[in-house]
Chains A and B, each alone.
Chain A
Amino acid sequence: MNDFPELHLPIATPAQLFIGTLGRIFIWGGVSLFALTLIQSLFFPKSRKLGSVSFVLGCVCIFASFLTLGSLFLNNQYEFAYVYEHSQASDAAQYKVAAIWAGQEGSFLLWATTSAIFGMLTIWATGIYRRWFAAVYSLFLGSICGILAYESPFNIQLIHGHAYIPPTGQGLNASLQNYWVVIHPPTIFLGFGSLTVLFAYAVSALVLRKYQDWTKQVRPWALVSLSLVGVGLCMGGMWAYETLGWGGFWKWDPVENVSFVPWCMTVALVHGLIVQGVRGKWFWSNLMLAGLPFLFFTYGTFLTRAGFLDGVSVHSFATMEHTAHMVLLTLCIVATAGFFGLWGARWWKDSRSEPTLLAAGPIVKANQAAESSAGKLGTDREGWYRTGSLLIVLIGIASAIGMSVPLFQYMAHQQPKVVDEHLYHLVLSWFFIPVMLMMAVAPFVGWRKLSPWDIVGRVFNVLSITIGLLGVIMMVMNNPRIGIQLIPNQFIDFPFKRQVPALPWVVFLVGICLFTIVGNTWRLIEMRKAFKLSLGAFVAHVGVATAMSGLIISRGLERSQVYELQAGEISAPVANANEKGDLINGATLPFTMNLHEIDEDSIHKPGNHILVDIQGQNDHYIADPKYVLDPTSDGDEKPESVPDIHRYWTHDNYLSMGSRQKLAGDPQTISVGQTKSFRLPDFEDGVDVFYNVKYLGMQRVGQPGQSGTKLLANLEVETPNHAKLLVNPGMQIGSGPLPADIDADYFVSMERMDAATREVTLQMRFIKPVYLAYLYYKPMVILVWIGAGLMFLGGMMSALYRRKSGKPSDNKGASSEAPSKKNDPLEAVSSKQSGSKR
């Protein structure tokens, strides 16, 4: 049966291949069923039952193809190209599951699956929007199924026309094998999937010209999107931190921005929906903001796969199958042009001519009446939300522009350019500061107008507490036992080529975050019983500010240090000096390291860990970074490493391993009678040492040209302690080089010999290979984790309360928006004040 016996592989049975066929059937089933739903919604709106059935069956098809792909992975069916490329037999079960979304096709399938989940959850309660919601949703899901039909994860790889089953696949990239690959992609894709709900609602509201009712229904889902994308972003940062070895969370990479931009838009939407709930305003911007997250994500997905970013990003972007890419481009253009066109047309007609269309419910009217009766001077919460939302939208658009610069340059036939991390920081910190300040103050500003002086009066306590706390924190930071030794003379780039000292700048930024934390905690305590709906918001704000302060402190006050490790030797920190001899990373870290003996066999095996004793002033621990050397085709070796992170309450010690070095110094060519000085590193005191080598002559042992004959260079080596040693490196005909030991640290090898001139090229080598290690000391990383947790908790709290109170027929949702005077002490105070003024 096997025509190519040299392969000795089993051939897949029809039953095994049928599973893949089944997967393709499900995909095409999805295409047809969603097409049916679309046709029903557009042309036969009365046959609603048919549309419902086909929509549900379409979603089931997507789930089924997802499960089918999962089963291919779990059953090691490597005859399928996608399975072969992304997993291997020895992978643990959870990584086989994670391999489903390890490639482009699977990522699209995951996107379709999560969108379908949210479609199934939301479509039943869409009320009057049902018809158009179903149409938009099925158009989107049908398109994604269309992409998957052309770029299928179910393709069989044929070898000589047969579907052989290789015993194993290429496997998931080793550095990705940790728990984040299992939980981060599903989480963030759940967030992306939920954006479809917001988009479909906005389109339906625009088509039907019902601009008010949708907001109550969409609010819990907007909060769910916000929480899921937010927590997904945090997880992505943590993944990068734990595996990539550069010790940071965020790099403004295009792929990161693709998730960040929709998040910014959703933040603005959530606040806009509050204003619409209370005041019946902002419907136009809310409709826009509900559509933008989805559109930006679709655009980002297109951008990162279109090849413009090739070489501009560290992420690998597999190019898409051509037809599939065209489907995505069409989807992107149709969705964007359609949405903007519809929005523009409706706005042009309805924003002026038919105010009744926009009529709000009775509670909103009451609020509007209250608003108009209040004093005209000063600002109210709406104004604060407007400025804040505008700023956050600008941050999002700025990030989108930043990531699109390569595309702009490409379209203008200009030299490719890219926006670097430091440029993002330079530009975006100016948005960040006011946004944080607004997050601190806005909870104290009511829906009635307040003069700036009143606002200062309200936040005065918070400001005082913040300043006090900041003082305490600085004192604690200065305590050498718990705190960190601050680095003098560090500067941060500012616009217009100015520089400011790092420490005051970090303290200032952290102070602003602290202001937000204190302000929102204050309101949280004040409102804990009276007004449960807003508690989630306060928790989420505290979370954002906590995470931001963690990012700022851990990056701004980070210290790092290079170490050079040799097994069994204690390595002191190597001064990290620039050319002028100044310490560029500040004082050296107070740690010494001792690398345990390394087994040459196991260092080449997957999953190998090396052990390093790390001794600090007050602590001692053993780090075990993952470290594997893969031999490469050109005889080199490639290290694959995952950093070791030792977590404390106050800081993380982050050990990142670099390459292994066997050569000491540069090779030198030397002729007979000549003396040359080899400058070699000495790691114990960090000062280079010199070995003077005199080449006395060449010596032959054996007959010329015969195998086994040795050619040896006679060297006289003067060591740094002025001992003179005779050393004879050389080569043996037929068997290769014969290196010779000098002392306990170095040996020398003869790299090349010129028979005519008798010149030799010598290379000094370490007897024990040297491993380059970077140790980062990162203060207060724990805040990032706490902050991320609070953000998610707060978001979900809000969504749950909103779900309870925001049912379509329920009017409490709107009434609870503006807290009654007796519930909120601030509102009570402000009404007294405005009363007395009048």
Chain B
Amino acid sequence: MDKKGAVISCVSGVAALGILTGCFLLNASPYVTVTEARKSDSDGLHVAGQVEPNSIVSDFSHHEVRFKLRDAEGQVLPIVYTGAPVSSLGTATKVVAIGAMKNGSLQSDQLLVKCPSKYESKPAVQ
């Protein structure tokens, strides 16, 4: 490879990496507390917390599951979940609800559920 080619490759590689990093950092979805979520109007909010005991209600008429999430600061946020069913919500030690705020509750179509299992499946797996 001639020197010119090497320089062009390196420069374009570094530029691409810079753009990539910027792209990911700027567009990554923030983890927010309940207080921050209430103030935010952006999409893709991640709110982590624990499911309030006995707060899970499946509303079949509207194909949604409603529950309350208590974050680390102790604030409680109602979640309206409309995604694919999550079977282990009841025993999850930690839940991350992803969505946007609407009428005081988080409209979420994606949940990350962490279960009390010590297994790290893909070993190094779910």
Chain A, Cβ-Cβ closest to B96: A311
B104, CB-defined interface residue at 8 Å: no
A621, CB-defined interface residue at 8 Å: no
Q: Judging by beta carbons under 8 Å apart, are B84 and A173 in contact?
A: no
Q: Which of chain B's residues have a CB closer than 8 A to the CB of A417?
A: 25, 28-31
A427, CB-defined interface residue at 8 Å: yes
Give the number of residues in A that approach B within 8 Å (Cβ atoms).
Answer: 94
Given contacts A259-B124, A420-B44, are A656 and B60 in contact (CB under 8 A)? no
A772, CB-defined interface residue at 8 Å: yes
Q: Judging by beta carbons under 8 Å apart, are B31 and A639 in contact?
A: no
Q: Which of chain A's residues have a CB closer than 8 A to the CB of B115?
A: 173, 316
Q: Judging by beta carbons under 8 Å apart, are A402 and B24 in contact?
A: yes
Give the number of residues in B that approach A within 8 Å (Cβ atoms).
Answer: 56
CB 8 Å contact bits of B77-117 with A (1 = contact, 0 = none): 00000001111111100101010000000000000111101
Bound: A420/B96 CA distance, A: 13
**A234 → chain B closest CB, angstroms:** 12
Q: Which of chain B's residues have a CB closer than 8 A to the CB of A240?
A: 125-126
**A706 → chain B closest CB, angstroms:** 31
Q: Which of A97-118 contact B (CB under 8 A)?
A: 101-104, 106-107, 110-111
CB 8 Å contact bits of A360-387 with B (1 = contact, 0 = none): 0000000000000000000000100010
Main SS of chain A's interface residues? mixed
A640's partner among B31, B48, B53, B88 (CB-CB below 8 A) is B88
Main SS of chain B's interface residues? mixed
Bound: A390/B58 CA distance, A: 49
Bound: A290/B91 CA distance, A: 44
A155, CB-defined interface residue at 8 Å: no
Q: Which of B22-65 contact A (CB under 8 A)?
A: 23-25, 27-32, 44, 46, 48, 53-54, 56-61, 63, 65
A562, CB-defined interface residue at 8 Å: yes
Q: Judging by beta carbons under 8 Å apart, are B125 and A637 in contact?
A: no
Q: Which of chain B's residues have a CB closer than 8 A to the CB of A244?
A: 126
Q: Judging by beta carbons under 8 Å apart, are A574 and B120 in contact?
A: no
Chain B, Cβ-Cβ closest to A103: B118
Q: Which of chain A's residues have a CB closer than 8 A to the CB of B98?
A: 420
Q: Which of chain B's residues have a CB closer than 8 A to the CB of A104?
A: 120
Given contacts A173-B117, A408-B25, A417-B30, are A564 and B60 in contact (CB under 8 A)? yes
Q: Which of chain A's residues have a CB closer than 8 A to the CB of B114?
A: 311, 314, 316
Q: Which of chain A's residues have a CB closer than 8 A to the CB of B75?
A: none
B60's partner among A188, A247, A638, A681 (CB-CB below 8 A) is A681
CB 8 Å contact bits of A144-177 with B (1 = contact, 0 = none): 0000000000000000000000000000110010
Q: Which of chain A's residues have a CB closer than 8 A to the CB of B124?
A: 107, 111, 189, 192, 255, 258-259, 300-301, 304
CB 8 Å contact bits of A456-473 with B (1 = contact, 0 = none): 000000000000000000
Bound: A382/B112 CA distance, A: 44
Q: Which of chain A's residues have a CB closer than 8 A to the CB of B90?
A: 632, 636-639, 659
**B54 → chain A closest CB, angstroms:** 7
B125's partner among A236, A311, A393 (CB-CB below 8 A) is A236
Q: Which of chain A's residues have a CB closer than 8 A to the CB of B125?
A: 184-185, 236, 239-240, 255, 315
Bound: A437/B59 CA distance, A: 47
Q: Judging by beta carbons under 8 Å apart, are B61 and A415 in contact?
A: no
CB 8 Å contact bits of A389-406 with B (1 = contact, 0 = none): 010011001100110010
A interface residues, Cβ below 8 angstroms from B: 85-86, 101-104, 106-107, 110-111, 172-173, 176, 181, 184-185, 188-189, 192, 236, 239-240, 244-247, 253, 255-256, 258-259, 281-282, 300-301, 304, 311-318, 382, 386, 390, 393-394, 397-398, 401-402, 405, 408, 415-420, 423, 426-427, 560, 562, 564, 574, 576, 630, 632, 634, 636-641, 656-659, 661, 663-666, 679-681, 688, 770, 772, 774
Ranked nearest first, the 9 interchain pairs of A and B with the lowest CB-CB distance are: A658-B85, A417-B28, A416-B31, A107-B123, A639-B87, A638-B91, A638-B90, A681-B60, A185-B123
Known pairs A173-B119, A772-B58; list 13 more (Cβ under 8 Å). Answer: A176-B119, A185-B123, A311-B31, A314-B113, A318-B118, A382-B1, A394-B17, A401-B24, A419-B27, A638-B88, A659-B58, A659-B87, A663-B57
B interface residues, Cβ below 8 angstroms from A: 1, 5, 9, 12-13, 16-17, 20-21, 23-25, 27-32, 44, 46, 48, 53-54, 56-61, 63, 65, 84-91, 94, 96, 98, 112-115, 117-126
